């Protein structure tokens, strides 16, 4: 993700507390929790970003209603090539299933990958819930 691209945010309630979804007009780039109450996207948010944020809110709501819901959103998490590989691995884990840090390290496996490095990549996940770091134990 280019550091110069404008981003827009929407804060919404969830069973985890307030979540703030941040997007460009084309991709979701971040999800944070701990915001203070629901806040609509700012009025100057472009229509494309408003539509994407609304769709993210709809899909998050569907996920919290049914934990087997599969997200279908354009994602652009900022991270290293290794982090991207770990996040791609997470996205492939089916709902209701888990994998170990060691399984992730083996699957990514270019050279000697330490399960601690996988844990660090999980912790750096900028789009938790949607990129399901909670499925790696």
Which residues have a catalytic role annotated? Answer: 133
Rounded CA separation 66/107 (Å)? 28
Contacts of 110 (CB under 8 A, 6+ apart): 85
Contact status, residue 43 vs residue 10, Cβ threshold 8 Å: no
Q: Which tokens is 52 given?
A: 């994407």
Strands of 8-12's sheet in order across: 8-12, 19-23, 28-33
The residue whose two tokens read 């703030």 is 20
């Amino acid at each position: 993700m280019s550091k110069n691209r404008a981003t827009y945010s929407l804060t919404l309630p969830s069973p985890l507390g307030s979540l703030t979804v941040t997007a460009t007009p084309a991709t979701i780039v971040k999800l944070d929790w701990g915001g203070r109450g629901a806040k609509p996207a700012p009025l100057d948010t472009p229509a494309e970003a408003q539509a994407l944020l609304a769709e993210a809110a709809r899909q998050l709501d569907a996920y919290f209603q049914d934990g087997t819901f599969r997200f279908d959103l354009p994602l652009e998490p900022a991270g290293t090539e290794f982090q991207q590989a770990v996040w791609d691995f997470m996205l492939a884990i089916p709902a209701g299933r888990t994998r170990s840090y060691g399984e992730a390290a083996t699957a990514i496996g270019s050279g000697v990958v330490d399960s601690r490095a996988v844990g660090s990549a999980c912790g750096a996940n900028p789009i938790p819930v949607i990129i399901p770091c909670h499925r790696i134990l």
